[in-house]
């Protein structure tokens, strides 16, 4: 039986964290300057990229304890009720910020600092300011701890080879089954050599790189974040679409990378979709895995049970037939990253990038997708969908001539440590993202 996840707002914990960070900024000019630069250059909030905080002051530890943090092994305190950084009970007092690559951060900010940890290793870090509160940047490549581990050169070489294998992997095959077997073999080899956590980090890097080849919006925002040296350090989740026939196999591959099942989301009897939320607890990565569901399947463990073919595809099934499986040739449907949503919206508008109306607009959760990036589609795929009765003749012709939306960037803002999602909001936006819906809207607009 799957655990019943009921995420709640954690305002006291959020206030404790924001209060500590505000005080840290008063004691660290470098942290204050970086906070401003993150917001102005990329719409990124400071607290969204805090990896962990080193604190030895017992009074401060007690304040975090009162707000929901509890001690685990090795003097590490965590608050598992929401999205909060760990507190490590040790000095000197230091706030560690996640970045994608330490060297890139130092170069972008013209900082000279000693880097701890081997190049391409599982954890690297550097102190960038030695104020009353020290500031450090940390590159976490699938490592669970808070100190730089000793890693054999052979393991680092192996990791580099597996990253290249993931980046260069073949994505188009005669059958989906062949593609998934090939992909699973690559994952098995990586996990056997370097473990699931490190392998998962490399997998996600390669997945985002492929997504950006098909998502100009993603490339624009990545360049903005690279300009301040943080890279994709602020990812909230990655979204995949899967067909019913091959959904279980995709989930199995994710589980081999260390993902565990979290909540299942259903839109209700009429919407025709479900999503298994998965979380990789060591690296804090979340996957949204979407699939078509029939009304009578709302109580089914669809991540592991066989799903027979439906008479007519819903959104995820239609997209996988049209573009391919997300885990193969289609790539990620979208990547969601954490921002000050108002700032990012305005900044992207200046780049001539438009947003759809938000599908969640709560004080503790905001979600909006970019309008979407288009690509051409294989006419043979359209022909099969039309012959099978999944799309009409007019829809088929528009797809052949105009192509389809393939990717988005999601602008997401979370407050009060809220870790959940808005099922009804997701349902509303998924209806709009069905190619039949936006083709119909385009037809209405042109009539």
Between 275 and 14, name the one with better pLDDT: 14
**What superfamily in CATH does domain 215-446 come from?**
2,3-Dihydroxybiphenyl 1,2-Dioxygenase, domain 1 (3.10.180.10)
- Give the contacts of 359 (CB within 8 A, at least 6 positions apart): 367, 368, 369, 422, 425, 426, 428, 429
Omega before 92 within 30 of 0, i.e. cis: yes
pLDDT at 311 over 70: yes
Q: Give per-residue pLDDT as tens, 11-32.
A: 999 999 999 999 999 999 999 9
Q: Is the pLDDT of residue 370 over 60?
A: yes
**Structure-token pair, residue 253:** 């591959």
Cα 288 from chain centroid (whole Å): 9
Residue 83 has pLDDT above 70, yes or no: yes
Domain ranges (residues) in the chain:
11-140, 215-446
Closest by alpha carbon to 134, among 97, 89, 79? 97
Please give the share of the chain, as a percent, with pLDDT higher than 70.
Answer: 93
Q: What is the pLDDT of residue 115?
A: 98
pLDDT, tens digit (0-9, with 9 covering 90-100), for 94-138? 999 999 999 999 999 999 999 999 999 999 999 999 999 999 999
User: Token match 């999601």: residue?
Assistant: 410
State residue 446's pLDDT score: 46
Rounded-to-integer distance, Cα 170 and Cα 446, Å = 40
DSSP 8-state secondary structure symbol assigned to residue 407: E
How far apart CA 118 and CA 125 sit, in angstroms, is 10
As a whole number of angstroms, the distance between CA 34 and CA 18 comes to 16
- What was the pLDDT predicted at 261? 94
The CA–CA distances, whole Å, from 59 to 56, 63, 66, 94, 96 equal: 9, 6, 11, 16, 20
Q: What's the whole-number average pLDDT of the chain?
A: 93
Summarize pLDDT for 33-48 with one digit per residue, the tens: 999 999 999 999 999 9
- pLDDT mean over 347-359: 96
Model confidence at 191: pLDDT above 90: yes
Mean pLDDT of 367-378: 94
Q: Say if CB 292 and CB 313 are below 8 A apart.
A: yes
Question: Any long-range contacts for 24-27 (C-beta under 8 Å, 24+ apart)?
Answer: 24/93, 24/95, 24/133, 27/131, 27/132, 27/133
H helices of 287-390, in order, are 315-323, 341-350, 379-387
pLDDT in tens, 276-292: 999 999 999 999 999 99
CA angle 120, 123, 127 (to 5 degrees): 110
Give tens-digit pLDDT for 383-421: 999 999 999 999 999 999 999 999 999 999 999 999 999
Q: What are phi and psi of 330, to 5 degrees?
A: -75, -30
pLDDT tens across 218-262, in order?
999 999 999 999 999 999 999 999 999 999 999 999 999 999 999
Tokens (6 digits) for 37: 């630069």
Is residue 190 within 8 A of residue 199, CB to CB? The reply is yes
Q: 210: exposed, middle or buried (C-beta count within 10 Å: 0-12, 13-18, 19+)?
A: middle
* Reported pTM: 0.94
Confidence category of residue 430, pLDDT binned at 50, 70, 90: low
What pLDDT score does 298 carry? Answer: 72
CATH classification (class only), 11-140:
alpha beta
The predicted pLDDT at position 302 comes to: 85
Instruction: Provide the token pair at 255.
Output: 């589980």
The reply to whether domains 11-140 and 215-446 share a CATH topology is yes
DSSP 230: -
Q: Distance between CA atoms of 93 and 135, rounded to whole angstroms? A: 9
- Check residue 1 and give its pLDDT: 40
> Residue 447: is its pLDDT beyond 50?
no
Residues 6+ apart with CB under 8 A from 93: 24, 53, 54, 55, 56, 57, 132, 133, 134
């Amino acid at each position: 039986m799957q655990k019943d996840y009921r995420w709640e707002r954690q305002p006291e914990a959020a206030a404790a964290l924001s209060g500590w960070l505000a005080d840290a900024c008063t004691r660290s000019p470098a942290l204050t300057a970086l906070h401003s630069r993150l917001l102005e250059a990329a719409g990124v909030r400071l607290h969204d990229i805090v990896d962990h905080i080193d604190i030895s002051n017992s009074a401060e530890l007690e304040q975090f304890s009162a707000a929901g943090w509890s001690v685990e092994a090795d003097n590490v305190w965590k608050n598992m009720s929401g999205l909060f950084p760990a507190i490590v009970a040790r000095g000197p007092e230091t706030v560690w910020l996640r970045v994608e690559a330490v060297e890139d951060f130092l170069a972008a900010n013209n900082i000279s600092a000693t880097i701890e940890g081997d190049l391409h290793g599982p954890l690297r870090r550097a102190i960038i300011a030695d104020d009353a509160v020290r500031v450090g940047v940390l590159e976490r490549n699938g490592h669970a701890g808070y100190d730089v581990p000793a890693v054999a050169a052979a393991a680092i070489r192996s990791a580099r080879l597996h990253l290249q294998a993931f980046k260069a992997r073949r994505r188009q095959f005669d059958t989906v089954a062949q593609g998934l077997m090939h992909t699973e073999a690559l994952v098995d080899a990586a996990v056997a050599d370097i473990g699931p956590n490190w392998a998962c980090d490399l997998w996600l890097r390669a997945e985002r790189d492929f997504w950006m080849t098909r998502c100009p919006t993603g490339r624009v925002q990545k360049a903005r974040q690279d300009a301040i040296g943080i890279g994709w350090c602020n990812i909230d989740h990655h979204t995949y679409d899967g067909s019913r026939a091959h959904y279980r196999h995709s989930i199995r591959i994710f589980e081999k990378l260390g993902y565990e099942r979290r909540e299942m989301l259903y839109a209700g009897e009429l919407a025709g979709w479900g999503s298994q939320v998965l979380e990789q607890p060591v690296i804090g990565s979340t996957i949204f895995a979407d699939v078509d569901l029939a009304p009578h399947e709302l109580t089914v463990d669809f991540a592991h049970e066989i799903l027979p073919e439906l008479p007519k595809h819903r959104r995820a099934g239609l997209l996988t037939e049209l573009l391919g499986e997300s885990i193969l040739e289609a790539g990620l449907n979208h990547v969601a990253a954490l921002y000050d949503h108002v700032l990012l919206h305005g900044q992207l508008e200046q780049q001539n990038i438009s947003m759809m109306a938000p599908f969640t607009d709560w004080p503790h959760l905001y979600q909006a997708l970019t309008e979407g990036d288009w690509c051409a589609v294989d006419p043979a795929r359209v022909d099969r969908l039309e012959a099978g009765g999944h799309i009409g003749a007019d829809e088929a012709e528009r797809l052949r001539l105009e192509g389809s939306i393939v990717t988005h960037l999601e602008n997401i803002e979370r407050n009060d440590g809220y870790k959940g999602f808005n099922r009804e909001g997701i349902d509303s936006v998924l209806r709009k993202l069905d190619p039949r819906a936006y083709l119909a809207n385009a037809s209405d607009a042109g009539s």
